[in-house]
Amino acid sequence: MNMVDLIEKKRDGGELSTQEIEWIIRGCTSGEIPDYQLSALLMAICIRGMTERETFDLTMAMLHSGDILDLSSVAGLKADKHSTGGVGDKTSLVLCPIMASLGVKMSKMSGRGLGHTGGTLDKLESFPGFRCNLSGEEFLGQLREQSFVISGQAANLCPADKILYALRDVTGTVPSVPLIVSSIMSKKLAVGADVIVLDVKTGSGGFMKNDEDAEILARELIKVGRAAGKKVGAIVTDMDEPLGYAVGNALEVAEAIHVLQGKTEAAHLLELCLALGSLILTEGGLARDEGEARDMMLSAVQSGKALDKFAALVKAQGGDPAAVYNTDLLPKAGCVLEVPAPQSGYVRHLAASDIGRICLHLGGGRETLDSVIDPTVGIVLQKKVGDRVEAGESLAQIHAKDRASDERAAEAYLQACTITAEKPVLPPFIRRRVI
């Protein structure tokens, strides 16, 4: 086979065969196909698209480019959750302990934040000493004992995706449904869960900017997962404003803990966890319907079992679980500043990606992979979209390391926030259920 011929075939709208796709991924992983040819092919795929069969073959070839976790020695229902990313998204920190306390084995390989979006591992490292780099043996052992493990991606899991994703990032080829689907699903399949639930974000802070595109992505992700023999469900949810109230690592951990403690002020966060958890329990055959699933989850919260499960995870991975029962023990920022509303009215828009960027500039995110994160900084929203606010009332609290950063962030927050005289009409937070 010849890479130039395959690039030309895709450029001209042709369909790559299974063997051709496998050959390309082998050459990508071994380094035999140079980056410039892979980049040209990625651009051709971005423009021409792929058929359902090609997308499936690409996912499978990427899956088999490295190690695949074997969870067969772990008894019980194994589930995994994926979110396409966003601002203030601490869903895994709430959903996984609830599920684990109900006996579902939650095996999560998570990522770190990059750009304006946060990452679960960075949030968990707010617990001093928390270890995210578990060996394969530790991962399986903890899954068996605690029903719950969250670790960084194993070094040799889907190496082809690591190469292609890095190229896509710098060649304008990220927003392609077949490339996104194969990238996400190859990694999900490599972790080996029986049930996979997907939270596809829509809006200014998400990957897909409107509901229609988000639904197309959700449908394609589901098709590939089912073709690979998995139970898969997806929902499309709002990421026009941050999820919940807290943005920033330790602040998000505290918010997640408050939800697990049964304090439900973060209504959207709880609603999202109940929706994803219902999918896991019904798809996995542990609940008859959504009503029963929700009751099971709410009683896991009310009984304190979900909170205890979160504490067990923190302890098992080297952190001090005391902060799970007393969030005042989490690391705190030196300076907290309120952002007063410049006028009375209703909050019309809170630009999620801009707020994510404010957190990043405060030191809570990563501009490069080597950036050192400050777990204490971030923003606590006091008003969400649709809320009434009076002039001078606090819109948000900025948690920063010093007064100058606080003031810069407060100014930027006012730019990210739109206040209008009229009360906005809001679409539902869960836009679509895709089954």
Which residue among the candidates 10, 64, 81, 82 is catalytic per the annotation? Answer: 82
CB of 236 to ligand URA, least distance (A): 15
- Count, in order, helices (H) and strands (E) of the chain: 17, 13
- Active site (annotated) includes residue 116: no
Q: Looking at beta carbons only, is 84 or 249 nearer to ligand URA?
A: 84
User: What own/partner pairs with CB < 8 Å and gap ≥ 24 does 132-136 have?
Assistant: 132/317, 134/317, 136/67, 136/69
Nearer to ligand URA, 196 or 324 (CB): 196
**Among candidate residues 160, 207, 164, 184, the one with its CA nearest the CA of residue 41:** 164
Which of 161, 194, 199, 406 is labelled catalytic? 161
**Please, which residues bridge with residue 195 across strands?**
79, 231
- The token pair at 160 is 């082809």
As a whole number of angstroms, the distance between CA 29 and CA 8 comes to 21
Active-site annotation holds for 161: yes
Is 82 annotated as catalytic? yes
Closer residue to ligand URA in complex, CB, 184/307: 184
Q: Give the binding site for ligand URA (CB under 6 A).
A: 84, 165, 179-180, 183-184
Q: Of 249, 190, 201, which Cα lies nearest the Cα of 225?
A: 190
Reading the block at residue 125, the tokens are 């490292």
Active-site residue (options: 168, 188, 231, 383): 168
CB of 112 to ligand URA, least distance (A): 12
Taking the complex as a whole, the smallest distance from the CB of residue 300 to ligand URA amounts, in Å, to: 29
Give me the catalytic one of 10, 108, 162, 187.
187
Strand partners, 247: 379
Give the nearest distance from C-beta 174 to ligand URA in angstroms: 6
φ, ψ of residue 82 to 5 degrees: the values are: -130, 140
Q: Is 187 a catalytic residue?
A: yes
Residues in contact with 365: Cβ distance below 8 Å, sequence separation at least 6, in sequence order: 113, 114, 115, 116, 118, 122, 356, 359, 371, 373
Judged by beta carbon, residue 154 or residue 260, the one nearer ligand URA is 154
Catalytic positions are 82, 161, 168, 183, 187
